[in-house]
Structure 1
Amino acid sequence: MNLLFCLESILSEFRFMFNSQNFALFQAFIYGFITHTGEGTLTRLYQSSVSQTRYWSFPKFLCRGKWDPDALAAHLIKYLQAIFPLSVYVYDQTHALKTGGSQWGLHFFRNFSYQRHRVNQSKFHYGHEFGALGLLCATPTDWLLFPVWVKLIVPQ
């Protein structure tokens, strides 16, 4: 069965976490995220979603909307575990090296592959650090990885 046909019933499980306008934007955002296969800019996601809302509500929903991404991830995990009883949590901490100084969230982090006698090597890198949580679920024929939560780690 095509995912888009049953997506509305799946997303209705999350309706209680949003008000009506935010839920429509959340639904459009998920539709755009699934249907768009190319570069994932916000404009392209909006165009792929065939949303009835205006474009400017998309950025407003993501930055000022009244919803909790951590609670949404927790509810998604409960929902997936009810469907797939055999599952494993997968956590990944990713470092992305950057050279500019004007990007938000840049900081120094340890270079764990540092070797003392190598030339032109630093004990620390400068860039972004992300934490990602996924749920690896077993089906009768295969394993599926559901990315559930990603957060930019910014030290205080």
Structure 2
Amino acid sequence: MVKKRTLRPLPVFDQKALPEFLQTHDFKEVHALTIWRYLAQRPEASFADIPGIPKTLRTQLREHFVPFTTSVTTEQRSADGTVKLLLQLQDKHEIEAVIMRHKGRNTLCVSSQVGLARSSSNLHMLIAWRQFAMWCLWAWASR
């Protein structure tokens, strides 16, 4: 049986946890979209910077969530502009990513040995996680 991983603090981009948190704490669920959109466009921003949400929510977000849970542990650049990254996830698992720059486009490859048991909810989380990881890498690559 696969051991279930529990992340604390929670990643703010968790598509299930944030709306549930908002509902439980009597905030409008639409604030989730505001939070995600703002942080996706400004990776360096903090919860205090997000406009259009109550100040009490900003405080609670800092206590229960983190904007980003992935960090770059190793970076290698080659002469052709290819960048290889080793990323550490919040639970200490690692993934590899390669960003290849081509004329008119870029390619991002993500490789992971982080496994999940097969179930529809786990597959949904894996898809959401990979989309988020790709967004993080893309934001990093375009800085």
Fold agreement, TM-score > 0.5 = no
Calculate the TM-score normalised by the size of structure 1.
0.29
Calculate the TM-score normalised by the size of structure 2.
0.30
